[in-house]
Structure 1
């Protein structure tokens, strides 16, 4: 697969990942953490704010692979 196509696909995947992940994290928090104290909200959003980086790093690693010569 050409590098430019892989980067286009990876960029689209990262955008989809961020949007879906943010919606899921906020929905989960609003359903289950509504009556929780402020420090639980702080810890939850701190960890969920960092957790999306792991799948994004895998996508970026895939995007940056060199093209295979045929």
Structure 2
């Protein structure tokens, strides 16, 4: 457990918010053009998958914010 505060946590949170904002804008801009004619069920599945895919790198990123290591 660390006792001294680091800038990794606030910078990491700001970076995470920035990346998620860009990701959301890209998804909102390009995905409806690609799947707009699909059945609503298939659209829901695609949006659900895209809503969960950003979680994949989150664990390593949170570990880096706490420890400074990617592992």
Q: Do they fold alike, i.e. is TM over 0.5?
A: yes
Which structure 1 residue ranges, 5 or more long, are not aligned?
Answer: none
* TM-score under structure 2 length normalisation: 0.77
Distance 1:59 1:3, change over 3 A: farther
* Residue 4 (1) aligns with residue 6 (2): yes
Match for residue 21 of structure 2 among 16, 19, 27: 19
For the 8 Å contact 1:3–1:63, the answer to whether it is kept is no
* 1:29-68 paired onto structure 2 within 5 Å: 29-65=31-67
Flag the structure with more relative contact order, 1 or 2, with Cα contacts below 8 A and sequence separation at least 6. Answer: 1
Give the aligned length. 65
Q: Distance in 1 between matches of 2:53 and 2:36?
A: 21
Please give the root-mean-square deviation of Cα atoms over the aligned residues, in Å.
1.7
Under a length normalisation based on structure 1, what TM-score does the superposition of the two structures give? 0.78
* 4+ runs deviating over 4 angstroms: none
